[in-house]
Structure formats: structure tokens, C-alpha cells
Amino acid sequence: MTLPLKLMTFNILTGGGDENRFRGVLDVIRRNAPDLLVLQECLDWDDGKRLAQVAEALGIPADPAHARLGLARPRGSGKRYHLAVFSRLPLVTFETHNNPAFLGHALVECSVDWGGQPLHLLAAHFDAKNENLRFVEARYLRSLLDPAKFREGLYALAGDLNALSNNDPYPADLESLLRESLTTKFHLPPRFEVSEELAEFGWLDGLYLRPPARWITAPRNRGGVHIDYRTDYLYFSPAMAPRVGQVEVLPLNDESDHYPVMALLL
């Protein structure tokens, strides 16, 4: 019998912030109790302290079979925005990719045994600067996957892709709002190549496998202009689609500037 799993992705903003904000991050994790968790922006987590605190909040061992840090490449500032992966099931494989020629931060490939079948998880944090760089990352991700195995196997992609999807109900005047707010990371007019590349390969947008109650993961105010975005995603391979139950964007207070996204896998 295959047990249900909860998969969650959550950008915790600059390592989770000070101790007070990080306690709020831990509360969000504890309250939602995911079985597979991907965190982005694990800045200054190299000493393992916060990695162990998240494992404790989940009630899992803080060992490499259950809690791992994917080391990001240094940015120009020298900062490294690591990825973290946590799993109640033992991690069977774990590999980090952080080649600066292709990736802005890091990309993790890992897997667990889910009821006798491998569930492959790709954890991502794409570049925030522009769609050209993010498209390179999306193509790099494609290069890691065998198309036939992807079509038949159980694959999930979880992360902050810093990209827009044309599945989402953006307003007709989005370009004007971007221009007014001096937001350039999505380009003018706004571009959607990353989501189109993922869809072309066969990835299915988890939020739209079931009608979403909410879709916004990154509300922003810049220059007095409010724009709602979705940049945080759960994608699934075709064989996973029948096994995806509810997918939801989880509400927050001020624990981060990104809302978590969680899916029930059946």
C-alpha cells in the first residue's frame, strides 16, 4: 500500500531572517507537516543548525538520509542561497548541481522509494534577474531527464522559479503595471518562456490539475504599485497527474515574502 505524501515548497527569504521570524517559519512547517519539503534561500545554513531545527519541527532525524543541504554557487556578493530538502522517507539518491555556467543558485535531484516505486524530486531556485538566464536553467533541467523515463515515471518539480506562467489570471494591463513599478525581471512585454519550456517537455502545472482556491504566491508593492505574482510552483510528470490530490497556496502572515505551495500525493 502506498501511503499519501504531502509535498511542499517554500522560499523562506534570506535564510529565514532573525530568530523571531525563523520561529514563525518553523511554526508554518510544523503546522502543515509536509512529508517532502523543499526550502529556498537557506542563506548561511552551512553550520547545520537551522537544518536540524527544521528536521526537529518535522519530527524527522537530522541526518543525511532525511535532511540535506544543496549547496548553491556563490553569487557576485559571495552569498550562497542554498536549497534544503527534507523527507520522512529515506532519501535514496541526492545530487546537487550548481555549475555557474548554467544555474543561478542550485538544482537538486533526489529520490525516495514510494510504495515500491521511485519518486523523483527536482528542487529548484531559478535566477531572479531575467528570463534569458531562467530559460538556460530550464533547458539545463531538461538535459538531466530522459524523456521516455519522464513520461512513464513519477517526477515532481518543486521550487521558486522566479518566472511567470500564462496559466495565471494576470490583468490585461500587466505590462503597464510592470512599467509603472519599474519592475524589469519579467521584461517588457512580460515573457513566459520558462513555463512554456516546462510545458513543452511535458511538465504539468500542479495548481491547475485541480481548480485552485488561490494562485498568488508573491504579492509585491513597488513604487506604490501593487502586483500579484506566482513564482513558486509544483510541477508533475504525466504519470503523476492521477496521483495528485489537492494543491494549494498556503496563507502566511509575515514569515516570508513568498507563500508556500503544498500538494497531497495519493
pLDDT digits (tens, 9 = 90+) for 134-180: 999 999 999 999 999 999 999 999 999 999 999 999 999 999 999 99
pLDDT of residue 111: 98
pLDDT of residue 212: 80
pLDDT of residue 220: 97
Q: Read off the pTM.
A: 0.97
| Residue 224 scores a pLDDT above 70 | yes
Q: Which helix (H) or strand (E) holds 72?
A: none
Cβ contact 37:10 at 8 Å: yes
pLDDT digits (tens, 9 = 90+) for 96-134: 999 999 999 999 999 999 999 999 999 999 999 999 999
- pLDDT-derived band of residue 251, with 50, 70 and 90 as boundaries? very high
What's the rounded Cα separation, in Å, for the pair 232 and 245? Answer: 18
- Beta-strand (E) ranges in the chain? 5-11, 36-43, 67-70, 81-87, 91-97, 106-114, 117-125, 154-160, 204-205, 218-222, 225-229, 232-236, 244-249, 261-265
- pLDDT-derived band of residue 1, with 50, 70 and 90 as boundaries? low
pLDDT digits (tens, 9 = 90+) for 32-71: 999 999 999 999 999 999 999 999 999 999 999 999 999 9
Give alpha helix (H) positions in 69-167.
Answer: 131-143, 147-152
Domains and CATH numbers, the chain: 5-265 (3.60.10.10)
What's the rounded Cα separation, in Å, for the pair 215 and 52? Answer: 31
